[in-house]
Amino acid sequence: MSYGGPVQGRFRDSIKGEGMKHSLVCALGLAMALASGVSSAQAPAQVGSQVPGYFRLAVGDFEVTALFDGYNDLSPKLLKGLTQSQIRALLARRSIETPGVQTAFNAFLINTGKQLILVDTGAGQCIGATAGMLSDNMKAAGYEPSQVDTILLTHLHLDHVCGLVDGQQKPVFANATVYAAKAEADYWLDPQALAKAPEGAKPYFKIAQDSTAPYVAAGRFKTFDAGQSPVPGVEATLEAGHTPGSTTYRFTSQGQSILFMGDLVHNLAVQFLHPEVSIGFDVNSQQAIKSRAKVFSDAAASKTWVTAAHLPFPGIGHIAAEGKHFQWVPVEYGPYKRAAKVPLIE
């Protein structure tokens, strides 16, 4: 019996049609399964932490690494010289309307190729959970505290010296010699000064003395007079006011300079536009204002790199003059050293 002819053709077409429908159903099912799998996949857990707090900059042949030790909040009421409404208006221009202003603790590591020098040591264990990150960030940056051979202190307030020791008052920088201006050491470290200090200030004198004590005992705390340089090639300048021995340090290599100015400025939103505004921590506010105006003017004229201990991390930038006012120009994130040939789009 033959199954050719029209009947066979219709049978073949039927089989073919059923096969196509089956293929379409399978493909649709696969697509739905894949789509279902994607939509039901779990997102990875959030990391929940910030990147390591360091930033690197080449200054001539020197490698400068900013290190983030931590932060606290400072009340705008500490700023003196404008009304609180004026200060609040300046803060609001930078979208700061919180009760306190977040203030960084920055320290700076300079590898000259011959020495590893640290400028200031942060607040260490003295502030609490929001500080004490210096050592971890130094390690993340590729260095160990034991490699630091020289520490230059801009002054001896707790958020600059507490990082010298750990919670057991043991030295963090086992191989470093610490330097401070003689005027600063005489003010904070003289036992008579502690005895004469107002009751509310005594804890700060004690912190300065306790933080430096292991280095003093080991003969690794040294002072220098105004006009002297604690390290060959580093220019130290007394800029008294914030404290009696507040000191700036200028490093120069291959015609490029960077100035470490410590606490000459505390507030980005206020003190560049109004350098005449002081802060409650100043020992001599009028002298501090004069020192700030002088350093700001010199830095703007020389267009040198500048660092500050309490400006937003990394606290590195330039200062530009605008009449009687100034502007902070923060460093841009970029390569450690620019390429020899950078494409120029015109």
Q: What DSSP string runs through 32-53?
A: HHHHHHHHHPPPPPP--SPPPS
Query: What are the structure tokens assigned to 328, written together?
Result: 């902070």
Asked whether 261 and 311 are in contact (CB, 8 A), the reply is no
Average pLDDT over the chain reads: 91
Helix (H, G, I), strand (E, B) or coil at 77: helix
Phi, psi of 224, rounded to the nearest 5 degrees: -140, 150
Determine contact, residues 257/251, Cβ cutoff 8 Å. Answer: yes
pLDDT tens per residue across span 80-98: 999 999 999 999 999 999 9
pLDDT digits (tens, 9 = 90+) for 210-230: 999 999 999 999 999 988 999
Rounded CA-CA distance 162/188 in Å is 14
Query: What tokens appear for 287 in the block?
Result: 């002298």
What percentage of the chain reaches a pLDDT higher than 70? 88
| Residue closest to 119 by CA, chosen among 105, 131, 133 | 105
**Three-class SS of residue 210?**
helix
- The C-alpha atoms of residue 252 and residue 159 are separated, in whole angstroms, by 26
Residue 208 pLDDT grade (very low, low, confident, very high; cuts 50, 70, 90)? very high
Quick check: 16 pLDDT over 80?
no
Per-residue pLDDT tens over the stretch 281-324: 999 999 999 999 999 999 999 999 999 999 999 999 999 999 88
More reliable by pLDDT, 32 or 245: 245
Is a pLDDT exceeding 70 seen at residue 145? yes
| Domains identified in the chain and CATH numbers | 54-330 (3.60.15.10)
pLDDT at 183: 97
State phi, psi for 257 to the nearest 5 degrees.
-125, 155
The predicted pLDDT at position 175 comes to: 98
The predicted structure's pLDDT at residue 15: 41
CB atoms within 10 A of CB 86: 14
pLDDT of residue 211: 98
**Contacting residues for 305 by C-beta, under 8 A, at least 6 apart:** 57, 59, 256, 257, 258, 259, 316, 317, 318, 331
- Each residue of 265-287: b (16+ CB within 10 Å) or e? bbbbbbbbbbbbbbbebbebbeb
The C-alpha atoms of residue 333 and residue 182 are separated, in whole angstroms, by 37
- pLDDT surpasses 80 at 59: yes
